[in-house]
Amino acid sequence: MKSFLKGLMAVIMVILVVILGLVIWGNYNLNADDSAAEPTVVPEPVETKGPVDISPSPTVEPETPKINATLAVAGDLVCHSGLNSEAYDGKNYDYTVIMSGATEYLAAADYAVCCLETTFPKTSEYTGYPMFKSPAGLAASLKNVGIDLVSTANNHAMDSYKSGLIQTLDVLDENGLAHVGTYRSQEERDAQNGITVADVGDIRVAFLAYTYGTNGIPVTGFQYAVNIFCEDYLTDLSIIDYDTIAADMEAAKKLDCDLIAVFMHWGHEYYTTPVQYQYDLADFLFSKGADIILGGHTHVLQPMELRQVTDEDGNEKTGFICYSLGNFLSCQNDPFTNLTAVLNINLEKNPDTGEAYIKSVGYVPMFMVDLYDYGVTDAGWQYRLWDLHKAIDAYEGGDNLGVINERLYNAMTEGLQDLHEIMGVEYDQYYYLPAAQ
């Protein structure tokens, strides 16, 4: 029995030793796993002063896109009898084909303007120089090629006298053409001090227009009819009516407009450089708030430029002037009278600040073709206004457009060189994009 108990005790001891060993082994592995774990760090409490702002960060609003617009400008439409003959098809007068070289640029602009040197009286006897009387089909054609506004203040405004001046405005209204510079009544002239406001691609432009005279035809008793800037318009053309211009410009500045553009019929015919009074008047207009000055009357091109100007209120800005764009259409053969251009004045407005300004300018050279001058008499037409670069490129590329001979080609290339010398090659859009684009 004793031996049995000893044996039992020995077995129990072995079992206890085994159990103890298992416990020790388990504790060892458990401690090994704990030693490999990263210690837990309890953050210190952060002292705050008031509630914690958990709202999202403010979003930066994108800049409002600027408003961009293009004002296209053509020169003086001098409607000689040859243009009337060219436009007549036996029943109607249609001048759109004659102006086809400029249509692309006029129609593409937000707004297009020119100077109308003719009248639309109630007559079927149409005449050219010296007393211009044209069919109403010319007004319809201008609208068809993209013209929106015409200046009627020029030396031919009274060619059909007072009744013809009034009828001209009626015809323009009937064809949806805005106008500035001549008026039916004092009330019409006074309505906005002779100013026509136009929406040029969401940029409001105030247009004014003046002429030096009326070729000796008086407006006595109805001076309101034509904006004439020379007080002695029937004699010496030497006394400038600065007071009337200043009053009109002041009225323009008070309108809800972004920019002011002024047509000026001035200078000496066939001069490719301005005379002194043009410089003086330009300075005066800029000082009174003009942004754009569009000159005409000389029948030939004169220089154009962008310049930094300061008005009488101390505002500094970029002003633009073209002293003369020459003839838009004509039948003249004098030197340089067949050269012109379509101006593209690029405007911009910041809708956040309301500031509007001239962004850039450029021109497309144009050439008034009279085929008879180059010995071509069998083409079925005589007069066309051509895009000068396109015509030259076509001929040099092997396409004579059915009519271009060496004489006409040489005249066009020489004309382009003359045009660049007068207006500045740096503004020719064929070679250069406008600088500010």
Could you tell me if residue 403 is inside a domain? no
User: 202 — alpha (psi -120 to 50), left (phi > 0) or beta?
Assistant: left
Quick check: is 107 in a domain? yes
Number of domains in the chain: 1
Residue type, 265: H
295 within domain boundaries: yes
Could you give the CA distance from residue 67 to residue 199 in angstroms, rounded to a whole number?
Answer: 12
| Domain containing residue 353: CATH number | 3.60.21.10
Domain membership flag for residue 17: no
Residues 6+ apart with CB under 8 A from 414: none
Angle at which helices 406-423 and 388-396 pack, to 10 degrees?
140
300 inside domain:
yes
Q: How far apart are the first and last CA of the chain?
A: 119
Q: Which two tokens stand for residue 387?
A: 């895009």
Q: Which domain holds residue 234?
A: 67-369+423-427
The whole-number pLDDT of residue 13 equals: 54
- Asked if residue 50 belongs to a domain, the reply is no
Give the Å distances, CA to CA, from 82 to 44, 63, 362, 415: 98, 54, 30, 22
Residues whose CB is less than 8 angstroms from the CB of residue 215 and which lie 6 or more positions away in sequence, other chains included: 130, 155, 156, 158, 159
Note the pLDDT of residue 192: 85
Does residue 256 lie in a domain region?
A: yes
Query: How far, in Å, CA of 320 to CA of 303, rounded?
Result: 11
Say if 15 falls within a structural domain.
no
Give me the tens of pLDDT residue by residue for the chain, a chain 437 residues long: 444 444 445 544 545 444 444 444 444 443 444 434 444 444 444 444 434 444 455 665 667 899 999 999 999 999 999 999 999 999 999 999 999 999 999 999 999 999 999 999 999 999 999 999 999 999 999 999 999 999 999 999 999 999 999 999 999 999 999 999 999 999 999 998 999 999 999 999 999 999 999 999 999 999 999 999 999 999 999 999 999 999 999 999 999 999 999 999 999 999 999 999 999 999 999 999 999 999 999 999 999 999 999 999 999 999 999 999 999 999 999 999 999 999 999 999 999 999 999 999 999 999 999 999 999 999 999 999 999 999 999 999 999 999 999 999 999 999 999 999 999 999 999 987 544 34
Q: Sign (positive/negative) of CA torsion 159, 161, 167, 168? A: positive
